[in-house]
Structure formats: structure tokens, C-alpha cells
């Protein structure tokens, strides 16, 4: 397990899937704000589900987020679009509703960055989020991400186009001392 101050990132377990699926995928309105494609009625046990258990690949690594104090499943995190030539990747984070607003997102982003920069040797990490996703923008900013731009009316969310923001962080800007 990769440990931060308040969260750990570990391999997804079969027992995590129904919980993540029910709380993060079953919330259609919330999921529409996360995915770049339309919500589809995918069963929790499907290998096509966003939280299915699988081996990490060269292009994406999925984690379950665990709150260290309670040892409870807090959410899901992913490093995706891993580009080994340009040494870059994107990151994503979804916390279960009961774990939001408790500062866990900052630590989860910090540990994901540690994995990307220290373990994988990446040079750049990027995240894209809806412009009104203040908690994610704030968490990324606290870790050191810079707002690099706005993709105007780029995301189709619940019947309308909304803005997305792009945030980036370079390894030399990170400066964290996180170690696995």
C-alpha cells in the first residue's frame, strides 16, 4: 500500500467493487460530471465496469483509496493515459460521499503524485475537471498544480456544455518528500 498522512492507495479488491459501483457509478448525475462519455447501465460485476478488478497495465493504474484512521474504503484513484515516451500521465480521484470534505482528497492527490513522480519516474502530471469542481481544483492547488487553461464548453454534462479546466504539475515543481 502507498501511504500518505491520512489515506492509503492499494490494489482494488473484489469487495470494493459493489461499494464503489453503488456510490460512485450508481449516482448517474454525479457520474455524468466525471466521465467523458455517457452513463451506461453497466452491472457492478462486469469487466467493463469502471471499478472492476484487473491487473495494472502500461497505460493505466487503478487504486482503491483507504482512510488510514478507520481502514474504510474512501474512494477510487487512477493514473491513466500513461505515456512512457513523454513521461506524462493524467490523474483522477473520486471519493465516496461520506468521505468528502474531510481533507482526504489533498492527501490522495499527493500520494498519486508521489507514485507518478517517484515510483514511475514521470515528468508531468495533468488533471482535467469541471470548472465548478472547487474541491478538486483546491486539492490540486494545495499539492502544487498550476491552472494551465480553460477548455470552454468542452464537456457535455446533464444536457448542457460546461467548461473544463486543465491543471498541470511538473516533477521539478512538486518538491514533495513523499516516499513509498
The pLDDT value recorded for residue 179 is 81
Q: Class of 2-174 per CATH?
A: alpha beta
Low pLDDT (below 50) residues in the chain: none
Torsion on CA atoms 83, 134, 32, 1, rounded to nearest 10 = 50
The pLDDT value recorded for residue 55 is 82
pLDDT in tens, 28-58: 888 888 888 888 889 988 988 889 998 888 8
Residue spans of the domains in the chain: they are 2-174
The pLDDT value recorded for residue 56 is 80
The pLDDT value recorded for residue 178 is 82
The pLDDT value recorded for residue 38 is 87
CA distance 159 to 179: 43
Amino acid at each position: 500500500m502507498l501511504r500518505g498522512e491520512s489515506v492509503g492507495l492499494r490494489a482494488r479488491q473484489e469487495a470494493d467493487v459493489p461499494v464503489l459501483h453503488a456510490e460512485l457509478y450508481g449516482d448517474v448525475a454525479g457520474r455524468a460530471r466525471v466521465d467523458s462519455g455517457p452513463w451506461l447501465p453497466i452491472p457492478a460485476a462486469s469487466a467493463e465496469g469502471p471499478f472492476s478488478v484487473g491487473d495494472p497495465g502500461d497505460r493505466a493504474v487503478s487504486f482503491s483509496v483507504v482512510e488510514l484512521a478507520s481502514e474504510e474504503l474512501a474512494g477510487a484513484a487512477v493514473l491513466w493515459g500513461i505515456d512512457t515516451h513523454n513521461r506524462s500521465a493524467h490523474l483522477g480521484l473520486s471519493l465516496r460521499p461520506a468521505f468528502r470534505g474531510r481533507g482526504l482528497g489533498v492527501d490522495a492527490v499527493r500520494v498519486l503524485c508521489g507514485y507518478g513522480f517517484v515510483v514511475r519516474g514521470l515528468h508531468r502530471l495533468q488533471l482535467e475537471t469541471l470548472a465548478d469542481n472547487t474541491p478538486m481544483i483546491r486539492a490540486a492547488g494545495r499539492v502544487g498544480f498550476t491552472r494551465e487553461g480553460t477548455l470552454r464548453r468542452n464537456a457535455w454534462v446533464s444536457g448542457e456544455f460546461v467548461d473544463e479546466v486543465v491543471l498541470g504539475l511538473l516533477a521539478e515543481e512538486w518538491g514533495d518528500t513523499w516516499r513509498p
